[in-house]
């Protein structure tokens, strides 16, 4: 028997929130474990249920991007998907820097949304096609001061702490003891760090960090 993908939905419009929940439940592939209307409530729901995915609206009371940042730092195993009307390049980039794995515009169809969430839960990422070209261009373009973007700048504060300890030679278990985290949580953080830095292993990540500190 296939285990359903567990989802938390956070949107301050009850009709839209209920419609999305119904769509996901009817697919049979996803189970909505909580539906909330504020950023604070979304964070609490993620803490309580530890879902596979949390869908956040940017315009949530309390700020959906701030919620994404908190969830990304505290619960790195939870896949974050922004489900919003905002087409702002800044919002998209901020969302991914906060740890989002998907950025979906609300005009998406029901079947496609189910497909997107299923793909993200399996380890993929997604940006609505109308935004993808602009976002890719922004990521590749040089900064205003002419310097190349530093991938280390994309790390959260917690990820920076973990990478610093990796650079000092600590194992995942030792890092867990140092930061009062479970070893599996450290592993999830390491997965995110390797993806953000575009490196293959912790040795390469440590070398990258050491290069900056020189």
List C-alpha distances in Å: 52 to 41, 66, 121, 201: 17, 19, 6, 24
Instruction: Examine residue 146 and state whether it is found in any structural domain, yes or no.
Output: no
The whole-angstrom separation of Cα 19 and Cα 132 is: 26
User: What is the domain extent for residue 93?
Assistant: 5-140
Assigned token pair, 71: 């969830």
Bridge-based pairing state of the strands 30-36 and 53-56: unpaired
Residue 40 burial (C-beta neighbours within 10 Å; 0-12, 13-18, 19+): middle
pLDDT of 179: 92
pLDDT of 211: 67
On whether the CB atoms of residues 118 and 5 are closer than 8 A, the answer is yes
The pair phi, psi for residue 88, each rounded to 5°, is: -70, 130
pLDDT of 23: 94
C-alpha closest to that of 196 among 156, 157, 166, 137: 156
pLDDT of 147 above 80: no
Residues 134 and 160 in one domain: no
The whole-angstrom separation of Cα 175 and Cα 64 is: 30
Residues 132 and 172 in one domain: no
Q: Is the dihedral of CA 69, 93, 192, 49 positive or negative?
A: positive
Q: What is the pLDDT of residues 181-197, one digit of tens each?
A: 888 889 888 888 888 88
pTM, to two decimals:
0.69
Assigned token pair, 55: 């869908």
Average model confidence (pLDDT) for the chain?
Answer: 86
Instruction: Examine residue 165 and state whether it is found in any structural domain, yes or no.
Output: yes
On whether the CB atoms of residues 132 and 113 are closer than 8 A, the answer is no
Q: Is the dihedral of CA 177, 49, 71, 121 positive or negative?
A: positive
Question: Which CATH number is 171's domain given?
Answer: 1.10.10.10
Residues 43 and 77 in one domain: yes
Residues 79 and 166 in one domain: no
């Amino acid at each position: 028997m296939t285990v359903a993908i567990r989802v938390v939905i956070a949107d301050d419009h009850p009709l839209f929130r209920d419609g999305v929940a119904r769509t996901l439940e009817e697919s049979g592939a996803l189970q909505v474990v909580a539906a909330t209307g504020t950023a604070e409530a979304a964070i609490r729901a993620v803490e309580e249920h530890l879902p596979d995915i949390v869908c956040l609206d940017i315009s949530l009371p309390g700020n959906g991007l701030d919620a994404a940042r908190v969830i990304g730092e505290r619960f790195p195993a939870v896949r974050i998907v922004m489900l919003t009307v905002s087409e702002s390049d800044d919002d998209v980039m901020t969302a991914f820097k906060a740890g989002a794995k998907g950025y979906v515009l609300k005009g998406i169809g029901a079947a496609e949304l189910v497909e997107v969430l299923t793909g993200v839960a399996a380890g993929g990422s997604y940006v609505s096609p109308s935004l993808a070209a602009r976002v890719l261009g922004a990521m590749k373009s040089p900064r205003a001061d002419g310097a190349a973007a530093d991938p280390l700048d994309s790390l959260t504060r917690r990820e920076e702490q973990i990478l610093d300890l990796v650079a000092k030679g600590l194992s995942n278990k030792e890092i867990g003891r140092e930061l009062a985290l479970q070893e599996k949580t450290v592993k999830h953080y390491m997965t995110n760090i390797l993806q953000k830095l575009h490196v293959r292993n912790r040795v390469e990540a440590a070398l990258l960090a050491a290069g900056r500190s020189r």
